[in-house]
């Protein structure tokens, strides 16, 4: 497990990430003492459709004044959005220590450190007591997790009764392998795309009730097509997902688009309630 965790952490590791973001803000002549969430929104939501889809999901669930756990929080964009726009108290956990350090720094930078906290840890061994959270939030995470049963069982354990699971993820549509590299894996050794059917089965066995799901595949395809058009016209943005993926950005995102076009993968968001 330790070796596997190291492989996953290395997949997402970007040395000096917080300092790089600060430098890019300076290059845009932004006063780092007056940085807003909008100034960093292009980089701090590491999933297809970024901040837009996170806001949609939060509004669908009518979140307000709740205690939220973001599993696989990355550098904390969704956590800050939930804290800022929905007055939630948000804890984020991620396997990457560099992401956690950066998330903490960015929350301090935009003045949301008192409503967000970030911890390094595993989604398969959440360091929280039973029933600690009103909501568990997870986006583009299960692709790196082979033990889906334990993943969703841990979510179930830390959720309060009648609590909600909100997710947005990439799923395997059939048995075909995706083309590598992709953002979550450079090769198949750490890629474990699950199916929607399997997730539904596990959550049903755990006693969750499905409230609402949204097929995000077509919107994801359009988002990626638009993104490639912008890259063609303007080149890489000063502060975008290229900061997290570097020179492999086009290839990795291109392979997601190819996977959608070849009907190998689908994207879905949804809400489940713990009974």
The structural domain count of the chain equals 1
Does residue 181 have a cis peptide bond before it, meaning omega lies within 30 degrees of 0?
A: yes
CA 178 – CA 188 distance, rounded (Å):
9
CB 51 within 8 A of CB 45: yes
Q: How far apart are CA 17 and CA 11, in angstroms?
A: 14
Overall size of the chain counted in residues: 275
C-alpha–C-alpha distance, residues 149 and 244, integer Å: 29
Q: In angstroms, rounded to a whole number, what is the distance separating the alpha carbons of residues 178 and 186?
A: 11
CA distance 209 to 59: 19
Q: What is the pLDDT of residue 2?
A: 61
What pLDDT, on a 0 to 100 scale, did the predictor assign at position 33?
Answer: 87
CATH number where 47 lies: 3.40.50.150
| Whole-number CA gyration radius for the chain | 18
Strands (E), the chain: 67-71, 89-94, 116-120, 133-139, 159-172, 208-215, 265-274
Q: Residue 239: which of 9, 13, 37 has the closest Cα?
A: 37
Conformation bin of residue 174: beta by default, left when phi > 0, alpha when psi is -120 to 50: beta
Using alpha carbons only, what angle is made at residue 123 by residues 119 and 124, rounded to the nearest 5 degrees? 130
CA distance 133 to 155: 10
Sequence-distant (≥ 6) Cβ neighbours of residue 120 within 8 angstroms: 93, 94, 95, 96, 97, 100
Q: At residue 237, what are phi and psi to the nearest 5 degrees? A: -70, 160
pLDDT by 10s per residue, the chain, length 275:
668 889 898 999 899 999 999 999 999 988 888 999 999 999 999 999 999 999 999 999 999 999 999 999 999 999 999 999 999 999 999 999 999 999 999 999 999 999 999 999 999 999 999 999 999 999 999 999 999 999 999 999 999 999 999 999 999 998 889 999 999 999 999 999 999 999 999 999 999 999 999 999 999 999 999 999 998 898 888 899 999 999 999 999 999 999 999 999 999 999 999 99
Domain of 134? 2-274
- Contact, 138 vs 107, CB < 8 A? no
């Amino acid at each position: 497990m330790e070796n596997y965790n190291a492989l996953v952490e290395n997949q997402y590791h970007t040395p000096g990430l917080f300092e790089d973001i600060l430098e890019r803000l300076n290059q845009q002549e932004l006063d780092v003492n007056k940085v807003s969430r909008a100034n960093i929104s292009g980089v701090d939501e590491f999933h297809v459709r970024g901040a837009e889809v996170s806001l949609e999901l939060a509004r669908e669930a009518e979140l307000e004044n709740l205690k939220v756990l973001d599993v696989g929080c990355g550098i904390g964009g969704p956590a800050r959005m939930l804290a800022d726009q929905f007055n939630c108290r948000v804890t984020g956990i991620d396997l990457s220590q560099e992401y956690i350090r950066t998330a903490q720094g960015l929350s301090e930078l935009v003045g949301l450190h008192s409503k967000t906290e970030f911890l390094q840890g595993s989604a398969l061994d959440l360091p929280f007591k039973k029933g600690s959270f009103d909501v568990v939030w997870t986006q583009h995470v299960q692709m790196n997790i082979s033990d889906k049963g334990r993943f969703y069982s841990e979510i179930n354990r830390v959720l309060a009764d009648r609590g909600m699971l909100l997710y947005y993820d990439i799923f395997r549509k059939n048995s075909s392998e995706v083309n590598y590299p992709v953002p979550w894996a450079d090769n198949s050794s750490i890629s474990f795309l699950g199916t929607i059917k399997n997730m539904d089965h596990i959550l049903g066995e755990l006693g969750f009730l499905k409230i609402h799901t949204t097929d995000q595949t077509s919107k994801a395809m359009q988002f990626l097509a638009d993104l490639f058009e912008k890259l063609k016209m303007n080149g890489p943005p000063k502060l975008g997902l290229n900061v997290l993926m570097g020179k492999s950005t086009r290839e990795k995102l291109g392979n997601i688009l190819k996977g959608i076009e070849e009907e190998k993968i689908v994207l879905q968001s949804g809400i489940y309630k713990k009974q």
